[in-house]
Structure 1
Amino acid sequence: MGTLSYTATVSLDGYAADASGDFQWFAPGDEVFRFHVERTGAVSTEVLGRNTYQLMTYWNAEPEDGSWGEDEREFARRWQEIEHIVVSSTLGPEDLDSPRDRLLLELELSELEQIVRDASGEVEIFGPTTAAAAIRAGMVSDFRFFVVPKVVGGGLRALPADAALDLDLVEHRTYGDTAYLHYTRR
């Protein structure tokens, strides 16, 4: 049986995307990226929305210019071994990049519970819209935030406005001007 975690890159004012929907306003530095490589080793399943899935297809094949370094190749290898469950009502099976990827039109909490039960490791739910119902229902046991020094003034909140959470800080690190905060549910 796995565990359910939620990871997000967050602006100082609590948003995962700005008012125009852009969530690519932060590129991790070398230290943050190396940390992502390490923590991905525990993840067996990713549950993600359409936008994040489409962004992450970058890791399915090295660019022809061979520009990836050792860390990028290791992250891509680990990413490709993870089962991806894509939640989208606009994508079709033909839009999936790998036969290991699975498409759900919507994510029912009972189905998510089954995914976590069946997982051999950590199930990471990626994206605030995809994660909102599970967060509200108290299903997420670990919250990992990469807080970046940017204020976007509005947009898509990293946490649902109506979520009531009681959390313990279990780990924190800084990488230059980025803070990593790991909380667990009480």
Structure 2
Amino acid sequence: MAQLVYTGIMSVDGYIADKDGKFDWSAPDDEVHAFVNDREASIGTYLYGRRMYEVMRYWETAHTLAGQSAVTRDFTEIWQAADKIVYSTTLEAVSTERTRLERSFDPAEVRRSTDAADRDVGVGGAALAAHAIRAGIVDEFHMYVTPHIVGGGTPYLPDDVRLELELLDEHRFTNGVVYLRYRVR
């Protein structure tokens, strides 16, 4: 059975973007990116809100840019091979392959789709993930904690949720990033 996985790169103080909306401080180096690629290869479908989709659609054409590293090219292939569902009431159309637009997020339908999937489903973006977390449908959290404190911004987790988690995996990188994989109990 597939898992609904929320993955994010965040600061030590729990933010995926700083108060100015910037996240350049979270860019993974090749060691971290290769590890991310290994984990993301299990994802068959990505679920995005509008803002996260607008960030991630970069990967639709990343392979056309000169000077891409091998790990960047690998992630481009992983992302392009996956299906994408974008939940938005304001986006008029999607501009990437293997992508469909949905106007509303139905947690029961997402749970049914995930349970029927043969590959994991990734939920991306703090706002959409917050809906899934509040609905109790997120199975795993994959956190990449960077050695930065940004003092505010977009939190990785919503404030109004309480869950008991079980640590499944952890990994330390030479640049100070720590990977934590938790399952919801």
TM-score by length of 1: 0.91
**Secondary structure of 2:25's match?**
coil
Amino acid at match of 2:170: H
CA distance, structure 2, for counterparts of residue 130 and residue 51 of structure 1: 10
Aligned residue identity for 2:145 = V
- Which runs of 5 or more residues in structure 1 are unaligned? none
What residue is the counterpart of 2:4 in the other structure?
4
Q: 1:63 to 1:46 in 2, by over 3 A?
A: closer
Counterpart amino acid of residue 132 in structure 2: A
State the Cα RMSD in Å: 1.6
Look up the equivalent residue of 1:140 and give its one-letter code: V
Q: Residues 3 and 64 of structure 1: is their aligned pair in 2 closer, same or farther, counting only changes over 3 Å?
A: closer
Change (3 A) 1:102 1:56: same
Aligned to 2:74: 74
Q: Which residue of 2 aligns with 1:149?
A: 147
Amino acid at match of 2:55: L
Matched, 1:58 2:58: yes
For residues 27-63 of structure 1, the C-alpha deviation after alignment (integer angstroms, 9 at most, x for no partner) is 1011110011111211101001222212222221245
Query: Which residue in the other structure is 1:48 paired with?
Result: 48
Q: What secondary structure sits across from 2:26 in the alignment? A: coil
TM-score when scaled to structure 2?
Answer: 0.91
Question: In the aligned structure 2, how far is the partner of 1:59 from the partner of 1:149?
Answer: 25
Q: CA deviation at 1:155?
A: 1.8
Distance 1:19 1:66 in 2: 31
Displacement of 1:71 after TM fit? 2.1
Pairs aligned (count):
184
Distance 1:89 1:23, change over 3 A: farther
How many angstroms apart in 2 are the aligned matches of 1:62 and 1:36? 17
Contact between 1:136 and 1:164, CA under 8 Å: does it hold in 2?
no
Contact kept in structure 1, 2:63 and 2:76, CA below 8 Å = no
Instruction: Quote the residue 1:30 is aligned against.
Output: 30
Q: Distance in 2 between matches of 1:65 and 1:37?
A: 19
Give the aligned residue type for 2:177: T
Partner of 2:115: 117
Q: 2-side partners of 1:107 and 1:64: how far apart? A: 33
1:139/1:64 Cα in 2 relative to 1: closer, same or farther (>3 Å)?
closer
Distance in 2 (CA, whole Å) between partners of 1:55 and 1:133 is 19
For residues 62 and 9 of structure 2, what CA distance do their matches in structure 1 show?
Answer: 24
How far has the Cα of 1:69 moved from its partner? 2.8
Aligned amino acid, residue 135 of structure 2: A
Deviation per residue, 1:4-42 (Å, 9 max, x gap): 111111111111222223334311011110011111211
Amino acid corresponding to residue 121 of structure 1 in structure 2: R
The Cα shift of 1:123 comes to 0.4
Q: Report the identity percentage.
A: 37
Where does the alignment leave 5 or more consecutive residues of structure 2 unmatched?
none
